Amino acid sequence: MPVTKLCLRIALSAGVVLSSACTTLGPDFKTPPADLEAVWNQQSQALDTSRVSQDWWTIFNDPVLDKLVESAYRQNLPLQIAGLRIFEARAQLGIAIGQQYPQSQQLNGNLTRVGLSENSPNFVSSFTDDSYTQARLGVDAAWEVDFWGRFRRGVESASANLGASIADYDSALVSLTAEVARTYMVLRTLEERLKIARDNTVTQARSYKIADVRFQNGAVSELDPAQALSLLKSTESTVPQLESRIRQSKHALSTLLGMPPGDLQDILQGTGSLPQPPAAMDVGMPAELLRRRPDIRRAELQAAAQSALIGVARSDLYPRFALVGSLGVLTSNTGQSDLGDLFDGDSLAYSYGPSVSWNILNYGRLKNHVRVQDARLEALIVNYQNTVLEAAREVEDGLSNYVGSRQQGARLAESVAAAQRAVDLALVQYREGAVDYQRVLDTQQTLLRVQDAYTTVRGEVVSALVAVYKALGGGWEIRAGQPFVPQERQKEMMQRTDWGRLLDEDATNELPAAPPTGNAQPVLNPPLW
C-alpha cells in the first residue's frame, strides 16, 4: 500500500475519534464566597479609603529607604528563589500542554540475531531457518485522545499552579519590602535612642560635677555626688547595648539586601533621623483585599488547581481511547531476502488503528481517589475563606495599633516637654539650695524615661504603618515589566540548559485576575516542547 494512502487512512481515523472528543469531566472552578466588611471597623481622620498606595514606602519621603527597597528587590536571594519556582511552574505547564499531543513518537531500529529452538512447538526443520538475522527501522506513535478532558484539566491545573507560583513571588515581595522598611525604622529608632542616651549622659555628667563641687565645699553630703554618679553610670551602660542592637539591625538589613554588611554603609549614608508618618494614609476598602493580597490570590489559585484534579481523577473511571501506529521497514536474511533489502519497497511494514483500555474491577480505588481529590478541594476552599478572614484581621489590628500609637505619641510629646522643663528648674533650684539632689535625680530619671518612651513610640507608629501596608498587600506592583530573576542568573541558566522561550518575559503572559476555568486559555502559547 502506498505511504500516502496509509497516512490518509490514519488521518481519517484520527479525525473520526477526535470529532467526538468534546467531554470535560469534573467541576468548573468558581471563586468561593468570602465574608468581608463593607468598611473598616477602625475609623479615623488619618485613614483615607478612597485609594491604596502601591509604592507605599515613598510616603515617608526618605531617599535612603527608597534605595534600600530598590536594592532589596534587585538582590534579595529568597526572592530570586521564588522567581525560579515560577520558571519551574512554566516548565510544568509546558509538560501538561504537551500531553494533549501525541504522547509517544519513537524512532527505533534494531539488528537482531535470532536462533529458534528445534524443540519449540510446530517447528519444522526442513522448511524453517533455525537461525537468521533481522533488521528493522521504523517509527512508532501513540496518541491517547483527550475524550474525557483529562489532559485539558491537567493544563488547567498546571496553569493555576503557575498563577499560584506568581502569587507566591508577589507575597514574598510584599514581605520583603515590609521587612526592609520595618528593619530600617528599627535602625533609625535605635539611633535616636542612642543619641538620647548620649545627650542625657552629658546632662547627668554636668549634674554630677555640680553635686561634687557642692560636696567639696561642704554644702551637701557625699550622698548627692554618689547618687549622681550612679545615675550617670546607669545611663552610660545603655549605650553599648544600643550600639550592639544597631549593628544587629544593620546585619539584618544587609541580609535582606543580599550584600555583605560592609557594603551597606554607603547606602545608609551614616546616622539618620526617624521618618515621619504622613498626615493620612491610603487604605482603600476591604473588598480590594481580594485582588491586592497575593496570599489570597494564591489560596484561590491553589483551590482552582485542585478543582481541575477532580476531573483528572474522574476520567480514570472511564475507558481511554487512543490511536496507535507503527510504520517502518523490516527484512531478514531468510529465504530470498537479505539485509540489503531493508529499504526496498517490499520491506515496508505497518500497523495502525484505534485502541481502548478500561480499568475495571478496581475495587473502589478509582472512586476513592476522586473522593480524595474532592476532600482536598474542600479543604483548600476553607483555607481560602480563612485566608480572607486573617487578612482582614491583620489590617484591622494594624490600623488599631497605628491609630493608638499616634495618640500615645502625641501625649508623650507633651510629657517630654514637661520633663525637660522640670529638669531645668530642678537644677536651678539645686544650685540655689532650694531643693535636695533627690529632686534633680527624679526629674532626670523621668526625662530619660519619657524621651526614650517617646522615641520608641514614634518608631512603633511608623512600624505600625508599615504593618498596615503589608496587611493591605502593597508592594508587589514594583515588579511590573521586570524579570522575575536577574538577567545575569538567567544567562547562567541558558548556558547550562536549553530553556527555549520559557525565560523570555515577552513570550509568557501572566494569569488574568480570575483563576482559569475549563475554557480558559493556558498561560503559555502551546506547544512548548
- What does the alpha-carbon distance between residue 233 and residue 54 come to, in Å, rounded to a whole number? 47
- What does the alpha-carbon distance between residue 89 and residue 165 come to, in Å, rounded to a whole number? 7
Q: Mind listing the domains of the chain with CATH numbers?
A: 3-105+146-318+365-500 (1.20.1600.10)
User: Would the pLDDT of 299 be above 90?
Assistant: yes
- How high is the pLDDT of residue 122? 61
Mean pLDDT of the chain: 84
- How high is the pLDDT of residue 523? 45
Q: Which residue has the cell 520583603?
A: 176
Distances (CA, A) of 185 to 108, 161, 278, 458: 66, 36, 15, 10
- How high is the pLDDT of residue 55? 86
Mean pLDDT of 115-131: 66
Q: Do the Cβ atoms of 155 and 97 come closer than 8 Å?
A: yes
Confidence of residue 169 (pLDDT cuts 50, 70, 90): very high
Of 2-16, 144-158, 230-244, 407-421, the range with the lowest mean pLDDT is 2-16
- How high is the pLDDT of residue 44? 65
Confidence of residue 127 (pLDDT cuts 50, 70, 90): low
| Residues whose CB is less than 8 angstroms from the CB of residue 263 and which lie 6 or more positions away in sequence, other chains included | 254
- How high is the pLDDT of residue 8? 44
User: Would the pLDDT of 203 be above 80?
Assistant: yes
State what percent of residues in the chain have pLDDT above 70.
Answer: 87
Mean pLDDT of 328-346: 76
- How high is the pLDDT of residue 366? 92
Mean pLDDT of 136-151: 88
User: Would the pLDDT of 520 be above 70?
Assistant: no
Q: Do the Cβ atoms of 167 and 91 come closer than 8 Å?
A: no
- How high is the pLDDT of residue 120? 64
Mean pLDDT of 475-502: 87
Of 50-59, 250-259, 302-311, 491-500, the range with the lowest mean pLDDT is 50-59
Confidence of residue 273 (pLDDT cuts 50, 70, 90): confident
Identify which of 416, 444, 435 has the alpha carbon closest to the alpha carbon of residue 231: 444
Mean pLDDT of 2-22: 48
Confidence of residue 123 (pLDDT cuts 50, 70, 90): low
- How high is the pLDDT of residue 121? 67
User: Would the pLDDT of 316 be above 50?
Assistant: yes
- How high is the pLDDT of residue 126? 54
User: Would the pLDDT of 171 be above 90?
Assistant: yes
- Report the range out of 271-275, 281-285, 448-452 with the highest average pLDDT: 448-452
State what percent of residues in the chain have pLDDT above 90.
Answer: 37
Q: Which residue has the cell 527608597?
A: 66
Q: Dihedral through CA 522, CA 524, CA 526, CA 529, nearest 10?
A: -130
Mean pLDDT of 285-307: 89
User: Would the pLDDT of 311 be above 90?
Assistant: yes
DSSP β-ladder status, 47-48 and 348-357: unpaired
User: Would the pLDDT of 218 be above 90?
Assistant: no
| Residues whose CB is less than 8 angstroms from the CB of residue 323 and which lie 6 or more positions away in sequence, other chains included | 10, 13, 14, 17, 141, 142, 143, 145, 352, 353, 354, 355
Confidence of residue 248 (pLDDT cuts 50, 70, 90): very high
Per DSSP, helices labelled H in 432-478 are: 437-471
User: Would the pLDDT of 183 be above 80?
Assistant: yes
Longest dimension (CA), the chain: 140
Mean pLDDT of 35-50: 72
